[in-house]
Amino acid sequence: MKLGPLWLKIQVACGDALAMGPGKADLLEAIITEGSISGAGRALGMSYRRAWLLVDEMNRCFDPVLVDTLKGGGLERGAKVSATGLAVLEAYREMEREAAAIAERPAYARLRTHIRDQPVTND
Amino acid sequence: MKLGPLWLKIQVACGDALAMGPGKADLLEAIITEGSISGAGRALGMSYRRAWLLVDEMNRCFDPVLVDTLKGGGLERGAKVSATGLAVLEAYREMEREAAAIAERPAYARLRTHIRDQPVTND
């Protein structure tokens, strides 16, 4: 997440896989809105293959799975974020809000004291 | 920073440049230890060119600069982290410690409830 010039990225690993991160959280939200993996991918400017791989990686990391895919209908068949998916998404967003508190703390203010608005150029 | 399976990344932008982040903080520490950009690059398994570009990007983002390079002596000439560099590094590490507090909070515990130790395989 971007808080002005402060960028925070939270990822949760599961063995060699990435269980949750900013792209996967956005994808869960898009599946809720769009009702399918292909629609969610389109909404995020992502290929169907990429969206499907992200869902597959998430689902392999959680029990029960975060996204239930409905049988039949080809690429446009529906997908639904499970109750676990909703709980994990909510927990992830709460972690982001908690981490965002550092933007209000003295350490960041100290760092900003010395930073330029724009980098100087070398020429 | 990695807190077990929880990975946190904090970056601070300055216009189109990245003023500070995990790689640059590690590089500052290596310059303190090694006394030169080339030595720091070697210690981090990084090319001299890459280390120099990271120092240049940092220095263009801060006033005064974070790393003072000493004249003469070619690639092995010394480099010194400035008082501002030490203050910025300290502030960045404090931001990391502050953000790391999310590992102890209920949201992360809720997310972990559902996560597997290892991803299941598709075959």
Q: Specify if A120 maps to a domain.
A: no
- Give the domain range for residue A46: 2-112
Domain contains A107: yes
Listed residue (B13, B20, B10) closest to B85, CA to CA: B20
Question: What is the token pair recorded at A25?
Answer: 């959280």
Number of domains in chain B: 1
Predicted confidence at residue B122, as pLDDT, reads 76
State whether residue A81 sits within 8 Å of chain B by CB. Answer: no
Task: Please indicate, yes or no, if residue B120 is contained in any of the structural domains.
Answer: no
Band of the pLDDT at A41, cuts 50, 70, 90? very high
Could you say which of A16, A87, A107 has the minimum Cβ distance to residue B114?
A87
Q: Per the domain annotation, does A118 fall within a domain?
A: no
With CA atoms as reference, the chain A residue closest to B6 would be: A12
Residues of B in contact with A56 (CB under 8 A): 122
Query: To which H or E segment does residue A111 belong?
Result: helix A106-113
Check if the beta carbon of residue B80 is closer than 8 Å to that of residue B28: no
Whether B117 is covered by a domain: the verdict is: no
In a domain, A121, yes or no: no
pLDDT in tens, A45-79: 999 999 999 999 999 999 999 999 887 656 567 99
Tokens 């991803």 map to which residue?
Answer: B119
In chain B, which among 5-64 make CB contacts under 8 A with chain A? Answer: 5-17, 19-20, 56-57, 60-64
B104 in contact with A at a CB cutoff of 8 Å? no
Rounded CA gap, B64 and B74, in Å?
24
- Closest alpha carbon within chain A to B57: A119
By C-alpha distance, the chain B residue nearest A65 is: B114
Question: Using an 8 Å Cβ cutoff, are B69 and B37 in contact?
Answer: yes
Look up the CATH number of the domain holding residue A39: 1.10.10.10
A99 to B8: CB separation less than 8 angstroms, yes or no: yes
| pLDDT by position in tens, chain B (length 123) | 999 999 999 999 999 999 999 999 999 999 999 999 999 999 999 999 999 999 999 999 999 999 998 876 565 679 999 999 999 999 999 999 999 999 999 999 999 999 999 999 876
What's the rounded mean pLDDT across residues A34-41?
A: 94
Structural domain includes residue A13: yes
- Is A122 a domain residue? no
Is B86 an 8 Å CB contact of chain A? no
